[in-house]
């Protein structure tokens, strides 16, 4: 099993290209099930989760073709992928596939809308909380679907097709917003989704659906309106740059010091996180090519944060920010409001010398003057990269085990960091 080996202490200087967003690419890929024409997606990241979803879509009969990559980039970086679901051969998403990645459950929306039936296993993914699917099912029932849960599978049907309706999310859910937006695009009549997620990835999906002939308005606000159409056609659409990758590398620079251009990054996708980062003492500036992050020799200032749905501080950057705060000059408080079990990285950061205590859903971090390298173990995708951030500043050697978590969401992380001066490598076996 691969590991990441780091020797800390080097500042980061150079350019890091920001890849396409995993959290945008996955729903866009699933949207290919809505049409029998070809959907071509540019800037698709080369990640384990993307490859897994390609296998899942293939199970439903979706053909795919990969072509091209960014100019001057090595093999393995973001590429163009075309998906064609001309013949849906199965409306069942089996446990052995869905259990490996939670987002694969989202196929239930397009399958139900286009084929009027779907049998989908209850989902898997990172163990960061229960993350129930009740909002998905309640929303689909509001659109006229009949839902039955049997033997770990969701059996959904709408023999006469889905019908437009009004649905108010009891709480904000990005995944459920994706699913209901896709399902409603082929429903009869108008659907209004209230208290919808406002994330950039939701807007990216809405723009793609509209390019395919859907009538979606209001994406990016709390109320999304979808006027159903009889069918969708093919289109070409680009995956937005990854705001979580952007924030992760920005925090790595804030942790180590240095000067790095995050090529292709867009500030509006993570302004709350950038504002917080600026308060820690980092300097952030927008350039035509992306975002530049700098930190001179001054210390890291402590800042309190609370995770919130967009446009607030993202839960997917909470672990990385905690890694940064381990060396802040004082006490910080990090409150997690999205997932109830997303502090599993605390005990691993403690192995590096971090001083962190937990009080309910709040982590209290007392910054230390130095961290010391140690073997650590990744527990989920974002937790794993928080250990990398800490290891970049720790004295001596840090070895991060279970890096398959990293491969799910970060494209060529060790290569990007090493090009900026980090002493980091992947060790096989």
DSSP code of residue 187: S
Among 137, 205, 194, 141, which Cα is nearest to 171's? Answer: 194
- Asked whether residue 324 is marked as a ligand-binding residue, the answer is no
CB neighbour burial string for 201-219, b if at least 16 within 10 angstroms, e if fewer: bbbbbbbbbbebbbebebb
**Active site (annotated) includes residue 420:** no
- Count other Cβ atoms within 10 Å, centred on residue 294: 16
Interatomic CA distance for residues 381 and 316, integer angstroms = 9
- Asked whether residue 210 is marked as a ligand-binding residue, the answer is no
Among 351, 316, 256, 326, which Cα is nearest to 7's? Answer: 256
- Asked whether residue 45 is marked as a ligand-binding residue, the answer is no
Interatomic CA distance for residues 21 and 33, integer angstroms = 20
Interatomic CA distance for residues 95 and 57, integer angstroms = 14
- Asked whether residue 304 is marked as a ligand-binding residue, the answer is no
Interatomic CA distance for residues 157 and 237, integer angstroms = 30
Interatomic CA distance for residues 16 and 261, integer angstroms = 6
Q: Which of 115, 126, 208, 420 is catalytic?
A: 126
- Asked whether residue 134 is marked as a ligand-binding residue, the answer is yes
- Asked whether residue 66 is marked as a ligand-binding residue, the answer is no
- Asked whether residue 132 is marked as a ligand-binding residue, the answer is yes
- Asked whether residue 100 is marked as a ligand-binding residue, the answer is no
Pairing of strands 397-401, 375-377: parallel
- Asked whether residue 370 is marked as a ligand-binding residue, the answer is no
Interatomic CA distance for residues 123 and 106, integer angstroms = 9
- Asked whether residue 253 is marked as a ligand-binding residue, the answer is no
Catalytic amino acids? 126
Q: Which residues are annotated as a binding site?
A: 22-23, 102, 131-135, 171-174, 316, 338
Q: Which residues are annotated as a binding site for UDP-N-acetyl-alpha-D-glucosamine?
A: 102, 131-135, 171-174, 316, 338
Q: Which residues are annotated as a binding site for phosphoenolpyruvate?
A: 22-23
């Amino acid at each position: 099993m691969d590991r990441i080996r780091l020797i800390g202490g080097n500042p980061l200087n150079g350019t890091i290209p920001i890849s396409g967003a995993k959290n945008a690419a996955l729903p866009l890929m699933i949207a290919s099930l809505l049409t029998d024409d070809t959907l071509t997606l540019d800037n698709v990241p080369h990640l384990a989760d993307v490859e897994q979803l390609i296998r899942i879509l293939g199970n439903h009969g979706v053909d795919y073709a990969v072509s091209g990559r960014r100019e001057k980039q090595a093999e393995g970086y973001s590429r163009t992928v075309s998906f064609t679901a001309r013949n849906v051969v199965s409306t069942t998403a089996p446990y052995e596939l869905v259990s490996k990645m939670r987002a694969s459950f989202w196929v239930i929306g397009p399958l139900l809308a286009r084929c009027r039936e779907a049998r989908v296993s209850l989902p898997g993914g990172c163990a960061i909380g229960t993350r129930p699917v009740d909002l998905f099912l309640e929303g689909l029932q509001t659109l006229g679907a009949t839902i039955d849960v049997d033997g770990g599978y969701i059996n959904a049907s709408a023999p006469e097709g889905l019908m437009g309706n009004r649905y108010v999310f009891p709480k904000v859910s990005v995944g459920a917003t994706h699913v209901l937006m896709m399902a409603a695009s082929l429903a009869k009549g108008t659907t209004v989704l209230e208290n919808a997620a406002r994330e950039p990835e939701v807007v990216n999906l809405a723009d793609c659906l509209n390019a395919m002939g859907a009538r979606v308005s209001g994406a990016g606000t709390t109320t999304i309106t979808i006027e159903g159409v009889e069918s969708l056609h093919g289109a070409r659409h680009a995956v937005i740059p990854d705001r979580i990758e952007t924030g992760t590398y920005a925090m790595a620079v804030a942790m180590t010091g240095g000067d790095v251009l995050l090529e292709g990054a867009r500030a509006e996708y993570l302004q709350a996180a950038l504002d917080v980062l600026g308060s820690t003492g980092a300097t952030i500036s927008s350039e035509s090519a992306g975002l530049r992050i700098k930190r001179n020799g001054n210390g890291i200032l402590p800042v309190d944060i609370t995770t919130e749905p967009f446009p607030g501080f993202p839960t997917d950057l909470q672990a990385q920010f905690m890694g940064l705060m381990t060396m802040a000059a004082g006490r910080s408080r990090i409150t997690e409001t999205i997932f109830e079990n997303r502090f599993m990285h605390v005990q691993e950061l403690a192995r590096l010398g971090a001083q962190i205590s937990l009080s309910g859903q709040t982590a209290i971090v007392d910054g230390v003057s130095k961290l010391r390298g140690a073997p650590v173990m990744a527990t989920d995708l974002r937790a794993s990269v928080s250990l990398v951030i800490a290891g970049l500043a720790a004295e001596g050697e840090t070895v991060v085990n279970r890096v398959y978590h990293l491969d799910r969401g970060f494209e060529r992380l060790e290569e990007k960091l090493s090009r900026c001066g980090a002493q980091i490598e992947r060790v096989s076996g």
